[in-house]
Amino acid sequence: EAQVTQNPRYLITVTGKKLTVTCSQNMNHEYMSWYRQDPGLGLRQIYYSMNVEVTDKGDVPEGYKVSRKEKRNFPLILESPSPNQTSLYFCATWVSNEQFFGPGTRLTVL
Amino acid sequence: SQQGEEDPQALSIQEGENATMNCSYKTSINNLQWYRQNSGRGLVHLILIRSNEREKHSGRLRVTLDTSKKSSSLLITASRAADTASYFCATAPDYTGANSKLTFGKGITLSVRP
């Protein structure tokens, strides 16, 4: 079954404690992306990747890092999380103009 | 900055009625897509319309695109309670690699009463 998986699904952490949200896809897609979703703001793109070792900033990249060492994985790294990064995060892949979304990771930073 | 802006923000209808949702955008696009999101879940792609198309159908969905007005509409016919969800339009800009910069609107909350 084609899918995008994210882990963890829920995370509560404290300010400054580094964390990584993993994203994995089994569709062999080249393109992957991270979004955050906040009430009243819709989805905003954080980073995207066109292929292995190729990443670029989206609209709200501050405070985030990504890596793309292999095609199937695209982890999102928060080196020093802050409360304004409390949000619902989605990983997505896409091919032929259609994006496939993961189930989401709800992050709370206290 | 938001490219797609949906209208209305919320819509409540009776089962069996049609639901019409609108999206306006600001700059030239390669294509416009509609997505659906059930509460707290990931988005699911519904339909895509390219800038050189005016209307597309998929099951109970009909989407139109008016590039002169920079607007699109999504019509769901004969709505069902299971159509209750948030609906987002997303635009891909008009350049190579466009889908890497898909920009989503804020979404429309549709409630279909049984």
Of A41, A56, A90, the CB nearest to B42: A90
Instruction: Tell me whether strands A105-109 and A65-66 are parallel, antiparallel or unpaired.
Output: unpaired
pLDDT in tens, B44-70: 999 999 999 999 999 999 999 999 999
Cβ contact B103–A45 (<8 Å): yes
Confidence of residue B1 (pLDDT cuts 50, 70, 90): very low
Confidence of residue B39 (pLDDT cuts 50, 70, 90): confident
pLDDT in tens, A79-93: 999 999 999 999 999
CA distance A83 to A110: 6
A35 three-state secondary structure: strand
Cβ contact A45–B101 (<8 Å): yes
CA distance A94 to A31: 6
Query: Distance from A33 to chain B by nearest Cα, in Å?
Result: 8
Residues of chain A whose C-beta is under 8 A from some C-beta in B? 4, 31, 33, 35, 40-45, 48, 50, 56, 58-59, 88, 90, 92, 94, 97-104, 106
Residue A38 has a CB neighbour count (10 Å cut-off) of 14
Query: Distance from A82 to chain B by nearest Cα, in Å?
Result: 22
Query: Distance from A17 to chain B by nearest Cα, in Å?
Result: 25
pLDDT averages per 10-residue partition of chain A, 110 residues: 92 97 95 93 92 93 97 97 97 86 96
The percentage of chain B sitting over the pLDDT mark of 90, rounded to a whole number, equals 72
